[in-house]
Amino acid sequence: MANASELEETNSSLQNYAITASAVKLASLGLIICISLTGNLLLSFLIFREPSLHRAPYYFLLDLCLADIVRSLLCFPFVMISISSGSAWTYSLLSCKIIAFAAVLFCFHAAFMMFCISITRYMAIAHHRFYSKRMSVWTCVAVICMVWTLSVAMAFPPVFDVGTYKFIREEEQCIFEHRYVKANDTLGFMLMLAVIIAATHLVYVKLIFFVYDHRKMKPAQLVPAISQNWTFHGPGATGQAAANWIAGFGRGPTPPTLVGIRQTAHNQNKRLLVLDEFKMEKRIGRMFYIITVLFLLLWSPYIVACYLRVFVKASTIPQVYLTAAVWMTFAQAGVNPILCFIFNKELRICFRTHFPCFQSTQTPREAYCVI
């Protein structure tokens, strides 16, 4: 009788734990969906409405926002349904493959897009003339189409059972089934994702070294003027040549005005990277680098779990760790707008312009005179 009562207490406690865990999962995932939809829709609205944001980096940011919106509307609700159904998939096998394909597609899309953004950030700072001339709207469209094409190419083979798309009960989602390396083709997909992330960070490291090298003060190099009969000319010539001619030195012709100074016609299309533009490009690059680092941090626990399944035969991953890792990948869809508004002053200004009610009101100070 004692053993039966203890068994009943254990079963009831397990049921209470399962109910509490399901409630926490549903509440947290619902919060992630709300934050993702609100932030990404707001950011997309600002990029659409504000003409000053119609530039290459914000076009790429808009693409990331729209992808996160579709991911939040398409993939996350099915996870909530599977949790409510007792960690079970109640739909057809084809629908599970479609949802898994979408989940893998958005993962590779974010990775490829961040890699392309890192390259454009390096070009915007290191080769600004080429960047300002070539990075037009149609170039951005071509880059976005290329990223989606590569993402589809990476996510499509498992639909034909090259690897397997199925419902993973431990993760409560339809996703790529990661099995031992000799029993599945998972390793190639995981290595590709790791290579993309590593290459993205290498580009940013190169950009950091470039900015650091160009922050050093270099001494001014004075070019001496050329003298012919005391009439100085050349890049280093000044008004001293005219003074010498008036004083009687030299018998050459009267030196022209601004001798030695080359007059260049400023073309509006050929812009130089002035200090303000340099600071703006650095701020945008810092924002995207923080987004890339956070993408790596949020996906790293899940990637480690996938590699354990691939290389360790019959590996048992703790359920708490796996659930936390999966939910961190879900949270990645909602953190990008938060980071953008924190680290981008231009977006904050546009937000206050379109939503004046959120502007901070300061009490006017009374005028005073000093006696």
DSSP string, 116-155: HHHHHHHHHHHSHHHHHHH--HHHHHHHHHHHHHHHHHHH
Residue 266 lies in a domain: no
Domain count, the chain: 1
Residue 175 half-sphere exposure toward CB, CA atoms < 13 A: 21
**What is the structure's pLDDT at 270?**
41
203 sits in which H/E element: helix 186-213
Q: Cβ distance 303 to 175 under 8 Å?
A: no
pLDDT tens, position by position, 277-321: 778 888 899 999 999 999 999 999 999 998 888 888 767 888 899
The CATH number that applies at residue 133 is 1.20.1070.10
Q: Cβ distance 53 to 340 under 8 Å?
A: no
Can you name the residues that pair with 165 across neighbouring β-strands?
176
Residue 235 lies in a domain: no
Residue 14 lies in a domain: no
Residue 253 lies in a domain: no
Residue 278 lies in a domain: yes
**What is the structure's pLDDT at 139?**
94
Note every long-range contact of 135-141, with CB atoms under 8 Å and residues 24 or more positions apart, other chains counting: 135/56, 137/54, 137/59, 139/56, 140/56, 140/59, 140/60
What Rg do the C-alpha atoms of the chain give, in angstroms?
A: 30
Residue 261 lies in a domain: no
**What is the structure's pLDDT at 40?**
96
DSSP H helices, 214-318, are 240-246, 275-311
Q: How many helices (H) and strands (E) does the chain have?
A: 11, 4
Q: Cβ distance 294 to 335 under 8 Å?
A: yes
Contacts of 22 (CB under 8 A, 6+ apart): 83, 84
State the amino acid at position 182 in one-letter form.
K
Q: Cβ distance 163 to 189 under 8 Å?
A: yes
**What is the structure's pLDDT at 144?**
96
Residue 5: is it exposed, middle or buried by C-beta count within 10 angstroms (0-12/13-18/19+)? exposed
Residue 301 lies in a domain: yes
Domain that holds residue 300: 23-215+272-357
Contacts of 330 (CB under 8 A, 6+ apart): 29, 32, 76, 79
**What is the structure's pLDDT at 176?**
85
Residue 68 lies in a domain: yes
Q: Which residues of the chain have pLDDT under 50?
A: 255-273, 363-364, 366-371
Q: From CA 106, how far away is CA 367, in angstroms rounded? A: 57
Q: From CA 117, how far away is CA 200, in angstroms rounded? A: 9
